A and B are shown apart, each in its own frame.
Chain A
Amino acid sequence: MSAPIIAASARSITKSFGSGTARIEVLHGIDIDAYESEILMLLGPSGCGKTTLISILAGTLTADRGELRVLGEPLHAMKKSAITRFRARNIGFIFQQFNLIPTISCEENAAVPLLIQGMSLSKALPHARKSLDQVGLSEHMKKRPNQLSGGQQQRVAIARALVHNPRLIICDEPTAALDAENGQLVMEIFRGLMRQPGRCAIVVTHDHRILQYSDRIATMNDGRIVESVPTSKFDFDHHR
């Protein structure tokens, strides 16, 4: 069996906010790897630094110190504009509050990453429709987000995250705004779509009910990774 390929690798990542006496270090030398073809879930209490870490891994926030390689690219050494272009090509995003644009249709929302890459709307829409079909929303393509349920909106967000076939998916509390049933449904669909080889997903969550959909779980506390184990070895009872 060949060694897993690293999709994202963080070494000695530190990050502080504020200045002077109000300066607070929220990440204390984080080391973490995420591999291709896996779903890595980041677990931990509020304020432990999960969101800060995921922002750094996504390239939307710059670390104070440390090295960050995503899909082989040294993000820590790249210019902001190059990171922005890198994100547009290689990273898909799923947000807690869906962040769908309410004034455009679901298919147009799903097409947004392709529009950002410079594709025309007419060329992007067939890809968006295909992506929406994959999440079971082919009947709702023309509707606006506010005409859909929360679960359906998050499925539109998944379609949007995957429309440009990114190799890294960043998910921030994807089921936080959903009820248990819809949360499970969304994760079922997400898990199914993640079966594609070479894809890696990093999911920040509080929701223990969705941990079963991960391949590996990293637990954070007070700005440090305290545990990183395959899901099969995770002590669910201890963390409950």
Chain B
Amino acid sequence: MFRLALKMLFGDSAKYLMLVFGVMFATFLMTQQSSVFCGLMRWTTAILKNAPAPIWVVETEVRQVNQTIAMRDTDLGRVRSCDGVDWAMPLYSGVQNVRLENGSLTVVQLLGIDSTTFAGAPTRMIEGSIGALRQPNAVIVDDLALSRLSPDPKTPLKMGDTFEINDQEARIVGICKAMRSFTGGPFIWTTYERALSYSPPQRKMLSAILVSPSAGRDADSVAASIERQTGLKAYTNAGFQSSERDFNTATMFWYVKNTGIPISFGTTVLVGFIVGVAISCQTFYLFVLDNLKHYGALKAMGASNGKLCMMLLSQVTVVGLVGYGIGLALASLFGLAAIKNTQPPFYMPDVIPFAVLGVIILICSLASFLGILRVSLLDAAVVFRG
């Protein structure tokens, strides 16, 4: 009966393709939009990935990593004196303007790191070395900066090239891979002191303090200890939902709560679901109606409701799996293209394909429910009524 059910399904190629399209469209839209949303949320925490440290100490009112409220320089010494701190280094983080050769301005994320230890330096160098930052006017840029800071994107910048940050010269001594920032601008690393000289002077300039806990101490307890002893805010940096103090989690939740981003993406995902339900339910019900006299004949010939339901379920399952497979493949292709192009943001955690599969199962269940109801209530004697 399973093969019979499939032959009935494939035989009506127009409805079969429409059903597959409905599921595929829903899968693609829900997967792609969820992944772009997750990618965007990851971008919000790019600084935490690009300037890695187990603990980030920031001003008390800071709620997410892109919010900068400068601290006093003396806070660095207070943190260093806390129990459980192995080392603590200053970090400058700010958005600055770079003037290109053609006179236009572009925005960059400038990171100033400790010139002795290079705590917060990039982890994936492509060219050059971090130690070269000790040279005059030296900066390390990410690969995005090579095209963004070049007056002609076809001839990207290279090692040794110079540009101006707030009218002061900067020379490229290293190129690295880095996660894209939420603002879309490239990352530039230099020493803490040089970063301060590139930036407009303010009374307080220390953006954050990068901390490592002593051997044998866990980051959570040391962060709690720093907060207790200094009154500053101390976050851990071990990945989304790794702990209650995690800065990634706090940052992403801040964007979820304080921006319209989730509503925008959520609406699109909902549209994908509704379109999937509408197309699949309507088309499958039409398919059942078209074949109703055949189901009636099968029923008269002794096919039980259970057997007919299994036929319908096998039909809808095949449609669901084929549509889901194609939709997921298309979303993955979109993701590969997005990653290659560096935008739009795209990150597909394992949970997304499984969650979308769950939604597709729900859509297929809804679609088959009406058909099963219709066939179950079908009077076998209907086949004798012409």
Residues of A within 8 A of B (CB): 51, 54-55, 58, 60-61, 81, 84-89, 91, 93, 95-97, 99, 101-104, 108, 112-113, 115-117, 121, 172
Specify which of B12, B302, B304 is in contact with A103 (CB 8 Å cutoff). Answer: B12
Contact residues of A: prevailing secondary structure: helix
Shortest Cβ distance from A73 into chain B, in angstroms? 14
Shortest Cβ distance from B227 into chain A, in angstroms? 69
Q: A95 contacts B298, CB within 8 Å?
A: no
Shortest Cβ distance from A83 into chain B, in angstroms? 9
How distant is the Cα of A51 from the Cα of B381 in the complex, in angstroms?
A: 9
Q: B293 contacts A84, CB within 8 Å?
A: no
14 A-B pairs with CB atoms under 8 Å apart are: A58-B381, A60-B299, A60-B381, A61-B381, A87-B300, A88-B303, A89-B302, A95-B383, A96-B384, A97-B293, A101-B294, A108-B4, A108-B7, A172-B383
Contacts of B291 in A (CB 8 A): 101
CB within 8 Å of A: which of B183-230? Answer: none
How distant is the Cα of A102 from the Cα of B384 in the complex, in angstroms?
A: 19
Q: A116 contacts B307, CB within 8 Å?
A: yes
How distant is the Cα of A93 from the Cα of B1 in the complex, in angstroms?
A: 18
* Any A CB within 8 A of the CB of B3: yes
Specify which of B4, B293, B301, B385 is in contact with A93 (CB 8 Å cutoff). Answer: B301
Q: B300 contacts A112, CB within 8 Å?
A: no
Contacts of B384 in A (CB 8 A): 51, 54-55, 58, 60, 95-96, 172
Q: A60 contacts B380, CB within 8 Å?
A: yes
Given A55-B384, A95-B384, A60–B7 Cβ distance below 8 Å? no
7 nearest A-B pairs in the assembled complex, by CB-CB distance: A103-B11, A88-B302, A99-B297, A60-B380, A55-B381, A87-B302, A60-B381
Specify which of B4, B298, B303, B385 is in contact with A51 (CB 8 Å cutoff). Answer: B385
Q: Mark B357-386, 1 if CB is under 8 A from A, else 0.
A: 000000000000000000000011101111
How distant is the Cα of A99 from the Cα of B298 in the complex, in angstroms?
A: 9
* Any A CB within 8 A of the CB of B253: no
Q: A102 contacts B11, CB within 8 Å?
A: yes
CB within 8 Å of A: which of B239-296? Answer: 291, 293-294, 296
Contacts of B1 in A (CB 8 A): 115-116
Given A88-B302, A103-B12, A113-B302, A93–B297 Cβ distance below 8 Å? yes
How distant is the Cα of A113 from the Cα of B302 in the complex, in angstroms?
A: 8
Q: A104 contacts B302, CB within 8 Å?
A: no
How distant is the Cα of A121 from the Cα of B7 in the complex, in angstroms?
A: 12
Q: B301 contacts A116, CB within 8 Å?
A: yes
Specify which of B4, B303, B380, B384 lies most central, judged by the most chain A CB atoms within 10 Å of its CB: B384
Specify which of B8, B299, B302, B379 lies most central, judged by the most chain A CB atoms within 10 Å of its CB: B302
Give the tally of cross-chain contacts (CB within 8 A).
Answer: 87
Given A61-B381, A121-B3, A112–B301 Cβ distance below 8 Å? yes
Shortest Cβ distance from B307 into chain A, in angstroms? 7
Contacts of B383 in A (CB 8 A): 60, 93, 95, 99, 172
Shortest Cβ distance from B230 into chain A, in angstroms? 75
Contacts of A172 in B (CB 8 A): 383-384
How distant is the Cα of A217 from the Cα of B383 in the complex, in angstroms?
A: 23
* Any A CB within 8 A of the CB of B354: no
Residues of B within 8 A of A (CB): 1, 3-4, 7-8, 10-12, 291, 293-294, 296-304, 307, 379-381, 383-386
How distant is the Cα of A95 from the Cα of B11 in the complex, in angstroms?
A: 22
Q: B301 contacts A113, CB within 8 Å?
A: yes
How distant is the Cα of A102 from the Cα of B290 in the complex, in angstroms?
A: 11
Shortest Cβ distance from B297 into chain A, in angstroms? 4
Q: B7 contacts A116, CB within 8 Å?
A: no
Given A51-B384, A51-B385, A95-B383, A104–B301 Cβ distance below 8 Å? no
Q: A60 contacts B300, CB within 8 Å?
A: yes
Shortest Cβ distance from A112 into chain B, in angstroms? 7
Shortest Cβ distance from B43 into chain A, in angstroms? 50
How distant is the Cα of A96 from the Cα of B294 in the complex, in angstroms?
A: 13
Contacts of A55 in B (CB 8 A): 381, 384
Q: A103 contacts B7, CB within 8 Å?
A: yes
Given A81-B304, A99-B294, A116-B301, A104–B4 Cβ distance below 8 Å? yes
How distant is the Cα of A51 from the Cα of B300 in the complex, in angstroms?
A: 14
Shortest Cβ distance from B306 into chain A, in angstroms? 9
Q: A58 contacts B300, CB within 8 Å?
A: yes
Contacts of B4 in A (CB 8 A): 101, 104, 108, 112, 115, 121
Contacts of A88 in B (CB 8 A): 301-303
Contacts of B302 in A (CB 8 A): 84-89, 91, 113, 116-117
Shortest Cβ distance from A46 into chain B, in angstroms? 10
Contacts of A112 in B (CB 8 A): 4, 298, 301
Q: A116 contacts B3, CB within 8 Å?
A: no
How distant is the Cα of A108 from the Cα of B383 in the complex, in angstroms?
A: 20
Contacts of A91 in B (CB 8 A): 301-302
Q: B303 contacts A96, CB within 8 Å?
A: no
Q: B8 contacts A101, CB within 8 Å?
A: yes
Shortest Cβ distance from A49 into chain B, in angstroms? 12
How distant is the Cα of A5 from the Cα of B386 in the complex, in angstroms?
A: 32
Specify which of A60, A93, A112 lies most central, judged by the most chain B CB atoms within 10 Å of its CB: A60
Shortest Cβ distance from A35 into chain B, in angstroms? 22
Shortest Cβ distance from B67 into chain A, in angstroms? 62
Contacts of A97 in B (CB 8 A): 293, 386
How distant is the Cα of A84 from the Cα of B308 in the complex, in angstroms?
A: 12
Shortest Cβ distance from B10 into chain A, in angstroms? 7
How distant is the Cα of A58 from the Cα of B384 in the complex, in angstroms?
A: 10
Chain A residue with minimal CB distance to B4?
A115
Contacts of B300 in A (CB 8 A): 58, 60, 87, 93
